[in-house]
Amino acid sequence: MRNIYLIFRRDFLGYVKAWGFWLSLAAVPLFIIIGAGFGYFAASSSPVRYYTVVEPGNVISEAIDAEFRRSEARALEEFKSLSGRSEGVQTDAASAAATARKFVAVPAPAATIDELTPYLAGEKKVAGPGGEKPLFAALILSPDGRTLEYWSSDVNVSGLRFSAETAMRDLSRRDALVAAGLSSDFLKTADEAAVTVAEFRPRETAEQGAEVTTADRAPAIVAVALAYFLWLMVFSIIQYLLMGTIEERSNKIFDTLLTSVKLPELLSGKLLAVFAVTSTMMLSWGLFAGVGAAFGASQSPALMEMIQPFIAAATDPALIIPALISFMLGYVLYGAIFMALGSLCDTIQEAQTLLSPMMILLMLPMFAIFIAFNDPGSPVIDYASWVPLFTPFLLILRMPSDPPLWEILAQMALMAVTTALIVWGATKVYRAGAVHGAGIGDLMGMIKGAAGMKPKAG
């Protein structure tokens, strides 16, 4: 144990002292903060753009304005729901920022597109509430009244166009109802009279209630998150294990180590070190997410209510125990493979030739995770979970569907046996690479005759 600890300690500190570790550690929270900051900045700094509508009268202008008002009302509702604030404080700066209008109608400075083009091109400016600016867009109703032409120099900003389309549909519906002799409130009344569809699921006890809530969906979402978490962890250990082993091989350090510790001790120490490194990262990110969520929940009871079912799902033994077993076996299984492959490589370039097939192998369970996200009960997941290389990820995904106990136990047993076999084979490959100097070229020979490896001369 002492030797395992010493190997673990050296490798762990070696990784942790590297700049790359701290950059990786900081990267995720930093990207989240920067991403959120960009989002907020983009929303708050988005310029107020002027548009004009060329039409006889102001029916279209009013319809677009009404659509903007409805959007703003929806945004305000969402803001109030998340922040848990009362009606009385809805006009503060935050709610104002959430509902600020980015498109402002101005009187048309000209009536034709030829005359409006200099305003759209920025050669001339129009006056508005935000001062003089070029015209962002002009909406021109065709003479026959059947087409609303949308003219703008910036084709990438489409918010105004979408609002105009929605406004036109509502306007058309209203005109049709009026033409049919019905009032404009008729459709609203009809919509309100529609039978609502409520979602239920059968339960063992009536006290639990039958209506479907977030708590029902949370296990599947948490399972996908856990499977993705394991996948991400395995994905991140690749570089650590490959680079670490390549460094030792190129530094010719194996002989010194193997006259001080047993090979299983060496491998265990190394696997534990990389596990600790990735765990440190994941826990740090988890801590960041937890603190963020706690802060969010303290600011918004509604958010706390939203998170609660996910916390309950993540701490459910029926999900977490198989997840932890899958996690450990999956980590050892893939860790042993990558360490063995690393021991055959002298350079990063050599390792890269091995990485491609391993990436493809690792992408397959990732596809399954995507499938599970949309359809947790997919038979694809059920069948693929019997492949031991994929079981660590896919068994977690199956758990919310309550698979038969014998299947869970059988898959775990299969996974354990496969892991043991792979560790056995990886130890052989590692010994061949580390002690006998075998290279990638010898890998096929080793696979063909694992029992009778013929190493190079030392």
| Segment interacting with another protein (CB under 8 A) among 3-11, 153-161, 352-360, 387-395 | 3-11
Q: From 327, 288, 334, 272, select the one nearest 29 (Cα to Cα).
A: 288
Question: How far is the C-alpha of 166 from the C-alpha of 66, rounded, in Å?
Answer: 10
| Residues 314, 315, 317, 322, Cα dihedral to 10° | 40
**Tokens coding 382:** 């059920």
Q: Which is nearer to another protein, 154 or 247 (CB)?
A: 247
Work out whether 454 is an interface residue with another protein (CB under 8 A).
yes
Per CB under 8 A, does 347 bind another protein? no
Q: Does 448 bind another protein (CB under 8 A)?
A: no
* Three-state secondary-structure class, residue 20: helix
Site string for another protein, 245-284 (x = CB under 8 A): --xx-xxxx-xxxxxxxx----------------------
Q: 277 or 329, CB closer to another protein?
A: 277
**Contact at 8 Å (CB) between 227 and 396?**
yes
Q: Does 308 bind another protein (CB under 8 A)?
A: no
Sheet of 103-105: strand order equals: 103-105, 49-54, 135-141, 148-152
Residue 97 or 253 with smaller CB distance to another protein: 253
Based on CB atoms, which residue is closest to another protein, 129 or 452?
452
378 binds another protein (CB under 8 A): no
Angle at 147 between CA 146 and CA 153, to 5 degrees: 170
Select the residue interacting with another protein from 297, 420, 435, 443 (CB under 8 A): 435
Q: By CB under 8 A, is residue 193 in contact with another protein? A: no
Stretch that binds another protein, among 2-10, 105-113, 308-316, 410-418 (CB under 8 A): 2-10
Name 126's bridge partners. 133
Q: Where are the beta strands (DSSP E) in 55-134?
A: 103-105
Our finding on whether 16 is near another protein (CB under 8 A) is no
**Integer angstrom CA distances of residue 326 from 211, 294, 394, 398, 451:** 32, 29, 9, 12, 29
**Binding residues for another protein, total number by CB under 8 A:** 27
CA distance 358 to 92: 54
Min dist CB 433 to another protein, Å, is 14
Q: Should residue 239 be labelled a site residue for another protein when binding is judged by CB under 8 A?
A: no
Rounded Cα distance, 455 and 458, in Å:
9
Radius of gyration of the chain (CA): 31
What is the pairing mode between strands 49-54 and 103-105? parallel
**Pick from 338, 361, 362: nearest CA to 351:** 338
Nearer to another protein, 57 or 458 (CB): 458
Q: Is 445 among the residues that bind another protein (CB under 8 A)? A: no
Q: What mask, x for binding another protein by CB under 8 A, covers residues 76 to 105?
A: ------------------------------
3-class DSSP state of 104:
strand
User: Which C-beta is closer to another protein: that of 18 or that of 76?
Assistant: 18
Only segment of 40-48, 148-156, 242-250, 315-323 that touches another protein (CB under 8 A): 242-250
Instruction: Give least dist CB 7 to another protein, A.
Output: 8
Identify residue 351 by its one-letter amino acid code.
A
444 binds another protein (CB under 8 A): no
- Is 452 an interacting residue with respect to another protein (CB under 8 A)? no
Taking the least distance from each CB to another protein, the nearer of 14 and 118 is: 14
Residue 10 binding another protein, by CB under 8 A: yes
The answer to the question of residue 236 lying near another protein (CB under 8 A) is no
Q: Which lies closer to another protein via its Cβ, residue 20 or residue 286?
A: 20
243 sits near another protein (criterion: CB under 8 A): no
Q: H-type helices in 86-158, by residue range?
A: 93-99, 113-120
Distance, CA of 346 to CA of 245 (rounded, Å): 9
**By CB under 8 A, residue 455 contacts another protein:** yes
Instruction: Kindly state the smallest distance separating residue 431's Cβ from another protein, in Å.
Output: 10
Helix, coil or strand: residue 136 = strand
Measured from the CB atom, the residue of 22 and 383 that comes closer to another protein is: 22
Residue 428 C-beta: closest distance to another protein, Å: 14
Nearer to another protein, 154 or 255 (CB): 255
* Amino acid in position 198: A
Q: Are 119 and 134 in contact (CB under 8 A)?
A: yes
What lies within 8 Å, CB to CB, of 338 at 6+ separation is 237, 238, 241, 242, 358
- Whichever of 156 and 259 has its CB closer to another protein, that residue is 259
Kindly report the backbone phi and psi dihedral angles of residue 126, in degrees, each rounded to the nearest multiple of 5, phi listed first. -120, 155
Q: By CB under 8 A, is residue 348 in contact with another protein?
A: no
Please identify, using beta-carbon distances, which residue of 29 and 445 lies nearer to another protein: 445
Spell out the residues 6+ positions from residue 214 whose beta carbon is closer than 8 angstroms to its own.
306, 309, 310
Interacting residues with another protein (CB under 8 A): 3, 6, 10, 14, 17-18, 247-248, 250-253, 255-262, 435-436, 454-458
